[in-house]
Amino acid sequence: MSFLKSKRLKPESADPEILSDYFWKIKSEKNLKPTTLFRRIESLRAFYRYQIAEGRIENDPTLHFKTPHLPEKVPQTLDIAEVQKLLDAVSGEDFRHLRTRAILELLYATGMRVSEVLGLRPESISLEQGWVRVFGKGAKERLIPMHDHARTVLRRYYAVRQDVFADKPGVQPELFLSRLGKRLSRVQFWRDLKALAKLTGINQNVFPHLLRHTFASHLLERGADLRSIQEMLGHSSLTTTQIYTHLKPATLKSSHQKFHPRG
């Protein structure tokens, strides 16, 4: 580290005051963003934890360092009209169009991760009762309800899927398949979604996880409680779900007008 060399010190002999001087120096000279400064502090902490584990030093000089406050990122979402544009753009009744429409409906209806949707098997879905059984991170099981729009499209997709693969050998068990009968890849669905977004003229970056964000935000905006959304998303901590409480200005304005005595 050039800063310590200029002080004729080895990293192992640096004390909290020296390291504090170092961070103030790079922050002022390089005008570092909080995220960059945070990463540098965490890297230094990891270095000194390793030195302690190896028995080279006894005390961690970064122990009482305060990391900079990181700005919270408000998730991107689509509005209802944009979601409808995406869904309406996939109007064909052939295998590929119905497959894309069914995946989109499931993503928006359930808030599942795209990896969870592409890993589904037909037996994971109860069209009669309107439930999806999914295993998320850490093999944690959850049940998510579906609305009738998604169930209707899935029934049509099931029928076409059966016709396409009825007599083909080596078909994989997943619900969403490529033309070759293999599990549909995330890359292929991403390409399909990008092409669809371009076709509809949506002016923002559209990616599979955007529909998960949209699902949660739309539920919250319409009065769903945070705990229910947490359960459907499969978040282990309510803190993770709370990112969706940062509602859009239009939503806040509407709520203000609706509930304020002078609204």
Residue 36 CA to residue 164 CA, distance in Å, equals 51
Residue 104 CB coordination number (10 Å): 24
Amino acid identity, residue 166? A
**Residues with active-site annotation:** 113, 137, 209, 212, 235, 244
